[in-house]
Amino acid sequence: MAQVLEFKLPDLGEGLTEAEIVRWLVQVGDVVAIDQPVVEVETAKAMVEVPCPYGGVVTARFGEEGTELPVGAPLLTVAVGAPASGVTADEGSGNVLVGYGTGAPPARRRRVRPGEPVRSATSAVRAAAVETAGAPVAAPERPDGPVPVISPLVRRLARENGLDLRTLHGSGPEGLIMRADVEHAVRTATTSMQAPQTVTAQPVAAPVAQPAPAETPSGTRIPLRGIRGAVADKLSRSRREIPDATCWVDADATELMNARTAMNAAGGPKISLLALLARICTAALARFPELNSTVDMEAREVVRLDQVHLGFAAQTERGLVVPVVRDAHARDTESLSAEFARLTEAARTGTLTPGQLTGGTFTLNNYGVFGVDGSTPIINHPEAAMLGVGRIVPRPWVHQGELAVRKVVQLSLTFDHRVCDGGTAGGFLRYVADCVEQPAVLLRTL
């Protein structure tokens, strides 16, 4: 006899608590193999194909395309050991998500025995939360029972907007309150506050002309969700929490460009300009480690980090993403070039994993590719600084006492003023500019 196994939305890693179903890859009645991708979801960090750890026949799917589900909510059920599947009830991969977020022991998978009812979506979510935390999850009480909401993001959104979750009825399975429900309630409350109030007319000495009520502006509403929503949340948090400052300098990049041309003419893998700038950054961070840090305000400490995980801004069709080159301080320019190329291609094709988009300690932003000279970038929270690089263009420049046309670039450094003062930031930026103008400076300090 077949056993019906429930596959829940796995923990996708890096603190993610929910994901949106983008596209189902299987239908009810389909036969699936172990580790076959069954659904494509979008998290706040990446698009992910989720593989099923069981082989069998799909008996149910939970959630339509466009639905957001919290981690631990059921995705689908699979009849294992059914004649059509050709597999036994004990077969399973052990993988929760191939490549990352894996390794959950088999004991944590729930197997539904013959004759045992499958848990509802809400109870499954609550049970998943208990299993993950190792302790019961307290829920605020309604007059008629606990509030059906699990996602910490939903609770936080309601709390930040002063919304009582006990007044809501969720649109999810069994009344589960989703983020869309909270956002709708917030919009409704805002509209009600802005609506004109009816008051009892009072006699006045003379009639007063009243302005016509403002019309609600028309336009297309674009939900802030997925990567766009994650960017909005992170940048807003950065502006709220980080007292940032920016300094900038123009530099003559002629010699750096000549050095790159010579390196690439010598044969071997091509060296990118971004890799040269990254190598300069890691050398500068070794001299000014204050800028490779993060701030722990609860402990009131600045945490200087030992490794440099270098993020770089990449614009894609789905929005701005910041892939991270791990251990950039331990890589040479050739290795940096190869890693930048690999991550850029993954960003272009939408195959970056959450682990490749998080954990950065310093960001390099080459906005010169957009044809602009300067910018004051927003720090990628919780990092402490970002180096911006404008376009490199021919400009008049005094070189060796004479006016000449040189290749000039504007460099800008935005930094968290809590980790250092302007002297440190200026020293970092000046060292970067010196290496750009005279690449031999880098060789002397290695």
- The residues assigned a catalytic role are 417, 421
Q: Which two tokens stand for residue 221?
A: 């509403």
Distant-in-sequence, close-in-space partners of 396: CB < 8 Å, separation ≥ 6? 403, 404, 405, 406
3-state secondary structure labels for all residues of the chain: CCEEEEEECCCCCCCCCEEEEEEECCCCCCEECCCCEEEEEECCCCEEEEECCCCEEEEEECCCCCCEEECCCEEEEEEECCCCCCCCCCCCCCCCCCCCCCCCCHHHCCEECCCCCCCCHHHHHHHHHHHHHCCCCCCCEECCEECCCCCHHHHHHHHHCCCCHHHCCCCCHHHCCCHHHHHHHHHHHHHHHHCCCCCCCCCCCCCCCCCCCCCCCCCCCCCCCHHHHHHHHHHHHHHHHCCEEEEEEEEECHHHHHHHHHHHHCCCCCCCHHHHHHHHHHHHHHHCHHHCEEEECCCCEEEECCCCCEEECEEECCEEECCEECCHHHCCHHHHHHHHHHHHHHHHHCCCCHHHCCCCCEEEECHHHHCCCCCCCCCCCCCCEEEEECCCEEEEEEECCEEEEEEEEEEEEEEECCCCCHHHHHHHHHHHHHHHHCCHHHHHHC
